[in-house]
Copies of this chain bind each other. A is one copy, B any other.
Amino acid sequence: MDAIDQSILRALQSDSSRSIAELAEIVGASTSSCHRRIKSLESAGFIAGYSAVLDPQRLGLKLHAFVEITLESQSRGAMESFEKAVCGFDDILECHLTTGQADYILRLAAHDLEQFDRVHRECLSLLPGVSAMRSSFAIRTIKQWRGYPTG
A102's closest neighbor in chain B, by CB? B136
Question: Known: A93-B148, A99-B136, A138-B98. Is A48-B55 also a contact (CB below 8 A)?
Answer: yes
CB of A36 within 8 Å of the partner chain: no
CB of A104 within 8 Å of the partner chain: yes
Copies of this chain = 2
Tell whether, in the assembled complex, residue B50 and residue A96 are in contact, meaning their CB atoms are under 8 Å apart.
no
CB of A75 within 8 Å of the partner chain: no
Q: Could you give, for residues 76-118 of chain A, a 1 whenever the CB lies within 8 Å of some chain B CB and a 0 otherwise?
A: 0000000100110011111111111110110101000000000
Tell whether, in the assembled complex, residue A137 and residue B99 are in contact, meaning their CB atoms are under 8 Å apart.
yes
Give bound CA distance, A16 to B49, whole Å: 8
CB of A3 within 8 Å of the partner chain: no
**Option from B46, B56, B98 in Cβ contact (under 8 Å) with A136:** B98
> What are the 6 closest A-B residue pairs judged by CB atoms, nearest first?
A100-B136, A12-B52, A95-B142, A95-B143, A96-B138, A98-B136
